[in-house]
Structure 1
Amino acid sequence: MTIGDISVSYRCMEDVLLVYLAVLNLVTFALYGADKRRAKKGQWRIPEKTLLILPLLGGSVGGILGMAVFHHKTRHWYFRWGLPAILLLQAAGAVYLLAR
């Protein structure tokens, strides 16, 4: 394998990661909106565990935006403080990996 092949491989991995994060954040945002709509209608709700796991998997921006746009889960301390904490940890991890 040549150096050129390795750089192409890393670029491909970066692209896959960006697509993964974009899709996950869109899904997380949409689920926060869907859960808020269901709450207003008294319908079956999305479990809080799901709404917390998605930000842990990389959807923290979508979760924070979903909380702000839909005014959803803003009274729960573990959402209000947990999602920004998750985002900060993910950002710190990204900076660490990029600085290596």
Structure 2
Amino acid sequence: MRLQGRVTHWNDDKGFGFVYPIGGGQKAFVHIKAFSQSSYRPVDGDLISYDLSSDQKGRYVAKDVRFAGGDAKLTRAYKLKPFGTIFVSMFFISLAIATMVFHLPLTLIGLYLVTSIVTYIVYAIDKSAAQDGRRRTPESTLHLLSFVGGWPGALLAQKKLHHKSRKMEFQVGYWLTVIANCWGLGWMLTTKAGYDFLGYIAKMIP
């Protein structure tokens, strides 16, 4: 007999939480791998249906988990999923056009690409550390990487790895770094002092 319950205490970094059955009863541990549909990440309050089982220690565990009446949520999540890829693609296309128009060094694009790759890797390492209970990468380090040009890689990591994508305080800080970085890029492209500074950076790179 399948039960219905609501997700609670969901930790998206680690990919697990608990479910309380509707109408009362024993709470059960639920892991992201137990969900039969993977296009939407659960959040606290989601209504799910599941089979109740137990692990080797006798603790209740939810198996074969499905979102109950969650088609609308799944559809919205699927539509929003390409946003990160589209946003980053448009940025690099715009950057390439600006490079040609303003005769900027190609190293500028290279800097964004390299920094983004490094940032993505750091996010992946932090995601793995969260799941394994190891020492985490400070959020200030993640924000610093975004600020210096790694924000495209950070955005893709958030969408692809589902890491730091639901923590509102972190998201506010992240988008502030995006705004600051883009403002800095605009300053370098539209002012003489900024353009000279950009040229100085380019000369420092072999």
When the two structures are superposed, what TM-score results if normalisation uses the length of structure 2? 0.38
User: Which residue number corresponds to residue 27 of structure 1?
Assistant: 118
Tell me how far apart the structure 2 counterparts of residues 57 and 83 of structure 1 sit (CA, whole Å): 12
Q: CA deviation at 1:51?
A: 1.0
Alignment RMSD: 2.3
Name whichever structure is richer in strand by fraction: 2
Tell me how far apart the structure 2 counterparts of residues 49 and 94 of structure 1 sit (CA, whole Å): 21
Correspondences of 1:24-63 after superposition (within 5 Å): 24-63=115-154
Q: CA deviation at 1:80?
A: 1.6
Q: Unpaired segments of 5 or more residues in structure 2?
A: 1-101, 192-206
Q: CA deviation at 1:76?
A: 2.4
Name whichever structure is richer in helix by fraction: 1
Larger radius of gyration: 2
Matched, 1:65 2:156: yes
Q: CA deviation at 1:92?
A: 4.1
CA contact (8 A) 1:64 1:84 kept: no
Identity of aligned residues (%): 30
Matched, 1:16 2:113: no
* Higher mean C-alpha displacement, 53-62 vs 84-93: 84-93
Q: Unpaired segments of 5 or more residues in structure 1?
A: 1-9
Q: CA deviation at 1:16?
A: 2.0
User: Which residue number corresponds to residue 90 of structure 1?
Assistant: 181
What letter matches 1:57 in structure 2?
Answer: V
Q: CA deviation at 1:82?
A: 2.6
| Higher RCO structure (Cα 8 Å, ≥6 apart) | 1
CA contact (8 A) 1:25 1:60 kept: yes
Paired residues, number: 90
Tell me how far apart the structure 1 counterparts of residues 138 and 117 of structure 2 sit (CA, whole Å): 18
